[in-house]
Amino acid sequence: MLAFHKDDLDDDRGSPSYMSMAEGLTFRDSWLGVRSTPADTWRSVLLSIPQSPLLMLLLLVLGVVCVRLPFFDYTVLSVDESVYLMIGSGMRHGLIPYVDIIDRKPIGIFLIFAAADALFTDPLFGVRIFGALFTIAGSWMIARIGQRFLGLGPVAGMLAGLLYSTYALLFYGDSGQTPVFFMPFVILGGGLVLRELRRIRRGTAPDVARLGFAGLALGLSLQIKYSTFFECVFFGGMLLYTTWQFRALLGYRGLKAAMLGICTMIGGGLLPTIVAYLVYATLGHADAFTFYNFTSNLDRQATDFPASLILFRAFLFMLAVLPLVILSAKYVWSRLPLASEDTATARQRWVHNALALWFLSALVAGLAQQQPYATYFFDTLAPLALIAAANFQSRTNAPRSTKAIAWTAGIVFALGISGYVGLHIQKIRDNGSPYLPATIAQDIKAEGADSLYVFNYYGILYPLTGIALPTRYPLPDHLLRDLEAASYQFDAIAELNRILGNNPDMIVVQSPLNDRIPQDRREILADKLTSEYCLWRAYDAGPQTVNVYMHKETSTLVAGTACQQPIDPNAWITATSKPGDKRRVTKRGRA
């Protein structure tokens, strides 16, 4: 999808890879700067494998699938994934987002999950497939950008893509989080903008249509999550600055084409949002679209997390990407302006600066959300992976350099994989088996419950059981955090009383309750459970317990149901163990 003209590579004629080919080396040899000899037959064969773009793509696909395959059949990987699936599934059954079911994300992410629900018998498996496809697309485009603008060989480019896909797992890229789906559009738009920046720097008028397509790609990313606004502004700002910087070289016609291209890019970026708004206006819900897409996001309180937690999570984020940061810093430091530097390095510095600024814009996008979630910093991985992978492009003929690069690449990937394994183990310890929601849903369905309320657990239980959502607000935090209720401008306590007043057959509560749940919500739930419900089942979920309470009238109608009285209401909100039929869940079953 990234189209480049042959003349776009003129600036690299002084680069080591170009000069090595001019001296008679094959492209296979030039990627690491190794000159083949009869004694190096094994190396020549090994290096010749990735010459074909198709083979490089196949290796990328293999790498992405290998690291993502183990969790393809998990029932749940994140709370957000459950919410998007509920809304996407609801859309297929006639519900209108922002009207019948509420969340502040743009419509694009819901359409993706609706497609997964429509195309696959198991929509969760479909989401995993979509996530892998989007990750492969992003990795492939990163590889192409590295080759076109950093002079990377095919292997180093492939490693850049694999760095992105591997370290994405540390930022919840294993689940259906929004960055998994919007980053390929950001990378595509960024690559096209870099292509036009190069043309402008050479005094050539930019391609207006290609800038419009870049804007459209960035606009599509906005309709998956609005946080990419910062990166859109960065790419537009780079175009404006570069156009002004080289205005004399462009001339009147070139400057006119550049300004027209920038306007076309802005129009392309706004188009998806305008189309979404017009659709809602046609349906008579323009106000709802405007409120939940823009007003609620702008009115949202900064954060209700303690500063210590945010700082600790920021520290963990730095540790997660430390190998990439070290490699990137090393590469940039080695190419600081020097009086004796060659012309090719000087000409290429603008690419390094652009990638560094891209990283900073993505970092600002994450910090602006003021939440301690790693997924908000996912955007930084694309520029980091590109700069870090440039270290894998050897510029000497020494075999020792080849071995050093191989060892460095191996260590970096090992750190990424081991970091994800550690994170995954910690998630299981904190939340229990990833198959637990499927087990709970199976038991609830077997009991024949007609209504359900999930107080503070994964909302995926609704689609898994086939029971209708009892409220317009699918995310439990909508009702349990004052910050969320205030931004949505609704009475969370009144909505909670309405739900409980309908006496759902079963209520699912994960205990101990989070400290951020206000006391008034705790008391409302405790009073209801104590007076009208009994404990039906309790499931191990790491250090927590998932309790399923059954209404007393329901329990008397179901023959053979073992239902016990709940313990003291002041104890269950903090206790980590409960009486009753407590079950330890293993893969796809109970032990």
Q: For 61-118, what is each residue's pLDDT tens digit?
A: 998 988 888 888 888 878 899 999 999 999 999 999 999 999 999 999 999 999 999 9
Comparing C-alpha atoms, which of 291, 301, 310 is closest to residue 485? Answer: 301
Residues 6 or more apart whose CB falls under 8 angstroms from that of 275 comprise: none
Asked if 476 and 459 touch (Cβ cutoff 8 Å), the reply is yes
pLDDT confidence band for 358 (50 / 70 / 90): very high
Which residues lie below 8 Å from residue 35, measured CB to CB, with a gap of 6+? 25, 29, 397
**CB neighbour class for 426 (10 Å; exposed up to 12, middle 13-18, buried from 19):** exposed
- Per-residue pLDDT averaged across 266-287, rounded? 97
Question: Of 337, 382, 348, 385, which Cα lies nearest the Cα of 197?
Answer: 348
More confident residue, 12 or 472: 472
Whether the pLDDT of residue 349 is over 70: the answer is yes
The pLDDT value given to residue 129: 94
Nearest in space to 1 (alpha carbons), one of 50, 57, 48: 57
More confident residue, 486 or 91: 91
> What would the mean pLDDT of 43-70 be, rounded to a whole number?
75
Nearest Cα to 139, choosing from 111, 158, 117, 113?
158
How high is the pLDDT of residue 486? 87
Is pLDDT larger for residue 495 or for residue 431?
A: 495
Find the largest Cα–Cα distance for the chain: 87
Q: What per-residue confidence (pLDDT) applies to 3? A: 47
For residue 61, give Cα distances in angstroms to 66, 133, 162, 555.
8, 9, 9, 51
**What's the mean pLDDT in 375-388?**
91
The band of 311, judged by pLDDT with boundaries at 50, 70 and 90, is low
Does residue 496 register a pLDDT over 90?
Answer: yes
- The confidence band for 210, taking pLDDT boundaries of 50, 70 and 90, is very high
Predicted local distance difference test score (pLDDT) of residue 26: 41
Percent of the chain with pLDDT over 90: 51
What are the residues whose beta carbons fall under 8 Å from the beta carbon of 55, sequence distance 6 or more?
A: 49
Region 285-311: mean pLDDT is 81
Residue keyed to tokens 């989080």: 177
The pLDDT, as a whole number, for residue 330 is 80
Q: Does residue 255 register a pLDDT over 90?
A: yes
Q: Where are the alpha helices (DSSP H) in 322-435?
A: 322-333, 343-368, 381-389, 399-431
Query: What does R_g of the chain's alpha carbons equal in angstroms?
Result: 27
Q: Are 540 and 429 in contact (CB under 8 A)?
A: no
pLDDT at 375 over 60: yes
State the pLDDT at residue 439.
93
Q: Which residues pair with 535 in a beta bridge?
A: 549, 564
Q: What is the pLDDT of residue 588?
A: 42
Report the pLDDT value the prediction gives residue 338, as an integer from 0 to 100.
Answer: 52
Does residue 418 surpass a pLDDT of 90?
no
The residue type found at 257 is: A
Q: Is the pLDDT of residue 187 over 90?
A: yes
Mean pLDDT calculated for residue range 270-277:
98
Q: Is 274 exposed, middle or buried (0-12, 13-18, 19+ CB in 10 A)?
A: exposed
**578/231: higher pLDDT:** 231
**Residue 262 pLDDT:** 96
Lowest model confidence (mean pLDDT) among 347-351, 398-402, 500-504: 398-402
Task: List the single range of 341-345, 367-371, 459-463, 506-510 with lowest mean pLDDT.
Answer: 341-345
- Of 182-191, 350-359, 528-537, 558-567, the range with the highest mean pLDDT is 182-191
Our measurement of the distance from residue 345's CA atom to the centroid of its chain's CA atoms, rounded to an integer in Å, reads 33
Average of pLDDT values for 149-177?
Answer: 88
The secondary element (H helix, E strand) that includes residue 581 is strand 581-583
Predicted confidence band of residue 200 (pLDDT cuts 50, 70, 90) = very high
- Average pLDDT along the chain: 82
pLDDT of 20 over the 60 cut: no
pLDDT-based confidence at residue 345 (cuts at 50, 70, 90): low
More confident residue, 459 or 25: 459
What pLDDT shows up at residue 547? 93
Out of 158-167, 375-384, 582-591, least confident range? 582-591
Mean pLDDT of 450-463: 94
pLDDT at residue 466 in the model: 92
Enter the tokens of residue 546.
């998932």
pLDDT at 559 over 80: no
> Taking residues 428-438, what's their average pLDDT?
81
The pLDDT of residue 563 is above 90: no
* Whole-number pLDDT of residue 576: 37
Residue range 432-443: mean pLDDT, rounded: 90
**Does residue 428 carry a pLDDT above 50?**
yes
- Which has the closest alpha carbon to 358: 541, 230, 538? 230
What's the sign of the alpha-carbon dihedral 395, 399, 404, 405? positive
